[in-house]
Amino acid sequence: MKKNDELWKTVRYLTDPKDYRKRISSLWKLLERDVDGLDEFVLVELENKNNFSPWTDHLIRVAERLDFHDHSLRARLYPVLFEEAKKRNQKGQIEEPLFSAMRRYASIAPCSDVKEFAMQFLAENCQLQVKQLALQCIQNMFYFSDGLSIKGNEDLFKRIRVVAKIYLLRELSSDSRSISIGINAVLTLAALNDPKLLQLVDEVNRNQDRAVVQTIEKWLEEKVLDSKKQTKKSALILAAISKLRFYYI
């Protein structure tokens, strides 16, 4: 207990930037010890916009590992994480704090906030890593959901369809990274229950090389196993696979 008190004093009062390494070390030790009150402390620190940048980076990473059981804390946390991720993305700081902020945001944010998240991290100028993670995050947000109403979210669906087309129809789609992000876009549309998903699959069939289409089919078939408990999502993916196969019968 005495050791914990010393650690708390360090993270609370040793705020001079020159001492940040010791402060960060104490923060991680408190996480390892699973001490009470760390969740609220981390949130309050993240809400402080005047913090030293390396300290904030570690706060974000610790926040990803903490359990925020209190709903009121979660409601305050996810907007802060969104702003931190947005700031890093706009500055091109494609590093672990950005990814941690995106993942933790997706695990606690309400599905109703998905549009702002998607439009920010699936923008045309975002790096491939960011787009890939954004798609995975959206899938996780809707893992237990029946999907999203297209009404009022047309821009969101259009943005994800564009990502799918770019990476499934381009000549470079023989590259596994391109196919991977295209597949993730298809899976995301399935998670959202997009009524136009199968039209997109038809377009891929008509315009893409047969070998690439067969690779897409194979990857989707592997992924459908992960979604077998999600009836609507599974049905859409299986329908997409059937359409892909139809062209080679």
Domain spans in the chain, listed from the N-terminal domain onward: 1-109, 113-249
Q: What's the half-sphere exposure (Cβ side, CA atoms, 13 Å) at 174?
A: 4
pLDDT level of residue 159 (50, 70, 90 thresholds): very high
Q: Under a CB-based contact definition with an 8 Å cutoff, are residues 100 and 80 in contact? A: no
Selected residue with higher pLDDT from 41 and 206: 41
Show the CA angle centred on residue 198, arms to residues 165 and 148, nearest 5°.
90
* Cβ neighbour number for residue 112 with a 10 Å cutoff: 9
Q: What's the pTM value of the predicted model, to 2 decimals?
A: 0.88
Mean pLDDT value of segment 14-24: 91
In sign, the C-alpha dihedral spanning 24, 26, 27, 32 is: positive
Mean pLDDT value of segment 191-218: 83
pLDDT value at position 229?
A: 53
pLDDT level of residue 227 (50, 70, 90 thresholds): low
Q: Is 49 exposed, middle or buried (0-12, 13-18, 19+ CB in 10 A)?
A: exposed
pLDDT value at position 248?
A: 43
DSSP-derived secondary structure for 132-146: HHHHHHHHHHTTTS-
pLDDT value at position 92?
A: 93
Residue type at position 99? F
Residue written as token pair 């974000």: 60
pLDDT value at position 235?
A: 73
pLDDT tops 50 at residue 249: no
Mean pLDDT value of segment 54-63: 96
For residue range 74-124, list pLDDT tens digits in order.
999 999 999 999 999 999 999 999 999 999 999 999 999 999 999 999 999
Q: Is 43 exposed, middle or buried (0-12, 13-18, 19+ CB in 10 A)?
A: buried
> Largest alpha-carbon pair distance within the chain?
72
For residue range 164-179, list pLDDT tens digits in order.
988 888 754 456 677 7
